[in-house]
A = this chain, B = another copy of it.
Amino acid sequence: MLSERQRMILSAIVDDYIRSAEPVGSRSISKRSDVLFSPATIRNEMADLEEMGLLEQPHTSAGRVPSIKGYRYYVDHLVRLGGVKEQDVHTLRGFFAEKMMHWEGAVSHAATILSQLTNYTSIVLGPETFHTSLKHFQLVPLNETSAVAIIVANTGHVEHRNVSIPEGIGMDDIQKIVNLLNDKLAGIPFFRLKSVLHSEVAKELSRYVDHCEHILAMLEQSIEDEAEPKVFLSGTTNILTQPEFKDVDKVKSILDMFEETPKIMQLFQSLPDGIQVRIGTENALEAINQCSLITATFSADGQPLGTIGILGPTRMDYGKVISLLDYLSKDMSQLYSRWYK
């Protein structure tokens, strides 16, 4: 258990270090107007905090730096959520005022704004289509052998792919298939689609057309792709402006990760609702062991839709980022709830 004074000193050190990126000495703390103790007293407390594992010393004659545990304590007990700056609220208003033509547009735009407001990297994962349902299915023939299959979800999400048409299937066959599929599948949630496809559609389809396995397989694949949420990144190079990432090698592994969507998905897997903070080694991936990831989920009518996240150095402005993510995720949830109806 920390004394009031220890908490205040820890808080001051973390705040200072977040601002300056330099180890914080006892003198500079005692100079602060809200601190009434001499450097020597501070030093004693700092030694205790270090013993508890909340602070670290890069070397004996340097100031202190928060440890992962120190950041954790700070985030859990000390951080002041200043709320969102007037100016930032304004920027965000602009975002929501704009007409969003796509799902993708809105989400990627949100990512851009987030990275600009924070100067960190923003990651947005969405939308989960697991609970959305099929609105419309369409096959547009391009020529005798190939066609475009288009799947529209009730959220307005569109997925498409080129498919080849099996020999011996004519235009009217295709129309029949499309009609059948729309009849049987429209309104079915994606997570049930696969089983419905097998149980109800397969038999019926085989009555109309030969070689229908091919079509079924294609449909299944499309459904699976559709179910995969997409990742949007913005401000990937912002990490380069951080003094602790001057070294190219440190940065490389992080930037490499950004090119690997599956790794990012893994990072976001099974995050609980609300705001989550993962500090340094608390993250699953070694590449970002020197980074912190703050995430917030957004949803529509209680259905989880996706996650927005900010990745920055462990020395991140937690107060600002948490406030911002909280604000934005709630607004996005509202936006999408409205959109849903």
Number of copies: 2
Q: How far is the CA of A246 from the CA of B251 in the complex (A)?
A: 11
A152 at the interface (CB under 8 A from B): yes
| Cβ 8 A contact of A140, one of B135, B162, B255 | B135
Known contacts A146-B156, A150-B150, A341-B143; is A100 also within 8 Å of B162 by CB?
A: yes
Task: Give the chain B neighbours of A247 by CB distance below 8 A.
Answer: 248
Residues of B within 8 A of A236 (CB): 255, 259
A2–chain B nearest beta-carbon distance, Å: 38
Residues of B within 8 A of A237 (CB): 252, 255-256, 259
Q: Does A142 contact B (CB under 8 A)?
A: yes
**What sequence of 0s and 1s flags, for each residue 78-95 of chain A, a beta carbon within 8 Å of any chain B beta carbon?**
000000000000000000
Q: Which residues of B contact A256 (CB under 8 A)?
A: 237
Q: Chain A: interface residue count, which band?
A: 35 or more
| CB neighbours of A150 from chain B (8 A) | 138, 150, 152, 158
Partner of A248, one of B102, B143, B161, B245: B245
* Residue interface bits A129-171, CB-to-B below 8 A is 1, else 0: 0000001101010110010101010111010111100000000
Partner among B102, B136, B146, B148 whose Cβ is within 8 Å of the Cβ of A158 = B148
A40 touches B (CB below 8 Å): no
> Does A11 count as interface, using CB distance less than 8 angstroms?
no
Chain B residue with Cβ nearest A144? B341
Select which of B101, B140, B155, B234 is within 8 A of A136 by beta carbon. B140
A240 at the interface (CB under 8 A from B): yes
Contact of A259 among B101, B142, B234 (CB under 8 A): B234
Tell me the smallest distance from the CB of A228 to a CB of chain B, in Å: 14
Which A residues form the contact surface with B (CB < 8 A)? 100-103, 135-136, 138, 140, 142-143, 146, 148, 150, 152, 154-156, 158, 160-163, 234-237, 240-241, 245-248, 251-252, 255-256, 259, 341
A235 to B158, CA, bound (A): 28
Most B CB contacts (10 A, CB to CB) among A143, A158, A341 go to: A158
Least CB separation from A340: chain B residue: B143
Within the complex, what minimum Cβ distance (angstroms) separates A341 from chain B? Answer: 7
A51 to chain B, nearest CB (A): 36
A142 & B154 in contact (Cβ 8 Å cutoff): yes
A240 near B255: Cβ-Cβ < 8 Å? yes
Q: Which residue of B lies closest to A234 (CB)?
A: B259
A118 to chain B, nearest CB (A): 15
Return chain B residues, CB-CB under 8 Å to A101.
161-163
Q: CB-nearest residue of chain B relative to A142? A: B156
Chain B residues closer than 8 Å to A246, beta-carbon distance: 248
Contacts of A135 in B (CB 8 A): 140, 142, 148
Decide if B259 touches A240 in the complex (CB within 8 Å): no
Q: How far is the CB of A226 from chain B (nearest CB, A)?
A: 13
A220 smallest CB distance to B (angstroms)? 13
CB A332 to nearest CB in B, in angstroms, measures 16
